[in-house]
Copies of this chain bind each other. A is one copy, B any other.
Amino acid sequence: MEKKFFNRILYGGDYNPNQWPKDIWEEDMRIFKKAGINSATINVFSWAKIQPSEEEYYFEELDEIVEMLSKYKYDIILATSTAALPAWLVKRYPEVARTDYEGRHHKFGQRHNACPNSLVYQKFASKLAGTLAERYGSNPHVTCWHINNEYGGECYCENCEKAFRVWLKKRYKTIEALNQAWNLEFWGHTIYEWDEVVLPNALSEGIGSDKTAFAGISIDYRRFNSDSMLENYKMERDAIRKFDSHTPITTNLMGTYKNLDYFKWAKEMDLISWDNYPSYNTPLSYTAMCHDLMRGLKDGQPFMLMEQTPSQQNWQPYNSLKRPGKMRAQSYQTLAHGADTIQFFQLRRSIGACEKFHGAVIEHVGHENTRVFREVMELGKELQGLGEEILGSTINSKVGIIFDWENYWALEYTSGPNKDLKYVDQIHQYYQYFYNKNIPVDIISVDSDLSKYEVVVAPVLYMMKAGLAERITAFVENGGQFVTTFMSGIVNESDNVYLGGYPGPLREIAGIWVEEIDALAPEQKNGVEFHDGNAYTCQLLCDIIHLEGAETVASYKEDFYGDTPAITKNSFGQGKVWYVGTQVEQAGIAHLFNQVIAETNVKPICSNGEGLEITQRDTADASYYFVINQNTKKQLLPEELIGKLNLLTGEVVNEVVELGQFDVLLLK
């Protein structure tokens, strides 16, 4: 199967002309062209339109849209439209709607509303995908299939309950294995038949909206739910492949979205696409981390930005405008972290329903004489000017940070020790160090090849599945620096504790034993002090650590465990294991990691670049440097980068340049 990957930066977005009379369509073509737009995502929520009933399809209007876009040589990202059920389908087959966590079976409404285990849904969705592929797959302008949309949510209906039992039987084989995996002796939950299993929601094991009496059950439910939706995706993919063997297939993901194990999904996707919607106060480093995570899903392969807003969102509590220049800077940040497309939601703004206050390339005013359009157009021209530059280039990094959805679920299901512990926040805290330093980072899975990294960071590696400890051990033996933290090495993949002392399978290589884990309430603080006298506050959790070969890097300042180790390092083989026993403030993390990378070849992309966001993408022939000033304060371009060609202006940068807020240089 030969895949058509993109030979230009796709620049465009979601396009839904059905709402408008045809004279508007031609106007759209003119305006898009003016903006340098070269692609459109269509048919995202058109199921009810293109299939008016169980017995008939109606493709005339879609045909017209496809023809028009083809005529103007747009790349078409064709969605399968299965993310919102038609009303007639729910009316005729109520089972296609979901049952929620509260146990309430839903009626028709909203979107992302199909029960993934409904055979009726499966039948109609796969048939639609196949029919679309048959009809449009051979169109050379159809550049990419977009299956469904933002898969997510969960269902607790009877169909899902039955499917869950089948899934479990496949995973555990015997009732005995299931009883043991879920530790069902606890609270007398031992079962004797598969159909004694019920879904874990507010009517069974759920405690409040986000805790559970049996994390083992609830984690398996999340695995099952992620798999169920992945099966939906694969079903549509396979239906498309019957008629179209060569067009890349994707679905748009959502960064750190909790419910789906995106590393597992990525294996089934030709390319990764995602929707980037920072709110007005989202840290820039958080967005960068999400990009790196999305790039990491397929081992560094360039990804698609499927959605961002030209300016305003509608569903945040406070939907600020993007300040002048910010959309451009955000777009280059996206490319800088590995994307090869920039797509907007949406090209023309809807006149009604809940997203009508969401920004668009063409606003309600209907013409192009707007600030937002001008910024879109300026960016479009720049991107056109790049030609095939940067396409397919990749980021090379010596640092990997482990992100694991199953661990994410498991950690946040724990009852105790501290309810404020959040997985993504922990990952982000460590990511920030590298972001601030302009050190490239890969976000990797627990299955990734560690040998290509010099430093691997695994914050709160609470759940350690079989084989992971061995692979980490090998990494360290071979000279790697491995950094982990409190709440690591605690449980196996069934959420049962590794007995024999924390951090379980990491105990030997970390050279420590964690005897106790103290929980601090928000008003409580402790501190850590390094050998050089530098001290930082810490909070949340404090491990009480016994050295078993490791040495102390920093000690607690107070409480009955004052002066005992808070951060340790242990030489093991050719490498070292660093253990951070408490949540240290950001400056303390930096102080620590300066020591960690001092033992390696890990370096910033260039010196004196702090305050700027600088990344590097490489091809076999060239290196591209993205330099962005995201801060209000002016920043100077680092001297190392002087003398390079700025691809955005076509001029060589010959002297020190001052970058104002949102200024961008793309140097070669």
Residues of A within 8 A of B (CB): 16, 18-19, 45-49, 52-53, 81, 84-88, 91, 102-111, 182-193, 195-198, 200, 202-207, 211-216, 280-281, 311-321, 323-324, 349-358, 363-366, 370-372, 414-420, 491, 494-502, 513, 515-522, 544, 559-560
Most chain-B CB neighbours within 10 Å: which of A48, A216, A317, A355? A48
Chain B residues in 8 Å Cβ range of A372? 516
Bound complex: CA of A252 vs CA of B563, how far in Å? 41
Known contacts A312-B417, A417-B314, A560-B323; A353 and B187 CB within 8 A of each other? yes
| Closest B residue, CB atoms, query A418 | B318
In contact, B18 and A185 (Cβ under 8 angstroms) = yes
Chain B residues in 8 Å Cβ range of A104? 102-103, 202-203
In contact, B324 and A499 (Cβ under 8 angstroms) = no
Smallest CB-CB A-B distances: 6 pairs: A183-B352, A109-B204, A314-B416, A357-B416, A87-B196, A186-B353
Most chain-B CB neighbours within 10 Å: which of A186, A188, A323? A188
CB of A422 to closest CB in B, whole Å: 14
Bound complex: CA of A196 vs CA of B88, how far in Å? 6
Complex partner residue of A213 from B53, B109, B186, B502, CB under 8 angstroms: B109
Bound complex: CA of A201 vs CA of B517, how far in Å? 41
Q: How many copies does the complex hold?
A: 3
Complex partner residue of A189 from B48, B205, B311, B370, CB under 8 angstroms: B48
Bound complex: CA of A299 vs CA of B119, how far in Å? 60
In contact, B516 and A193 (Cβ under 8 angstroms) = no
Known contacts A281-B521, A366-B499, A521-B318; A86 and B183 CB within 8 A of each other? no
| Closest B residue, CB atoms, query A518 | B321
CB of A90 to closest CB in B, whole Å: 8
Known contacts A109-B205, A352-B496, A354-B207; A419 and B318 CB within 8 A of each other? yes
8 pairs from A and B in contact (CB 8 Å cutoff)? A19-B185, A46-B188, A87-B192, A88-B191, A281-B521, A312-B416, A323-B560, A351-B497
Known contacts A109-B213, A353-B213, A415-B314; A364 and B191 CB within 8 A of each other? no
In contact, A371 and B516 (Cβ under 8 angstroms) = yes
In contact, A516 and B318 (Cβ under 8 angstroms) = no
CB of A58 to closest CB in B, whole Å: 10
In contact, B497 and A200 (Cβ under 8 angstroms) = no
In contact, A499 and B86 (Cβ under 8 angstroms) = no
Chain B residues in 8 Å Cβ range of A357? 414-417, 517
Chain B residues in 8 Å Cβ range of A197? 87
Bound complex: CA of A352 vs CA of B280, how far in Å? 41
CB of A194 to closest CB in B, whole Å: 11
Known contacts A319-B519, A370-B515; A352 and B416 CB within 8 A of each other? no
| Closest B residue, CB atoms, query A313 | B416
Known contacts A186-B355, A355-B186, A501-B365; A110 and B193 CB within 8 A of each other? no
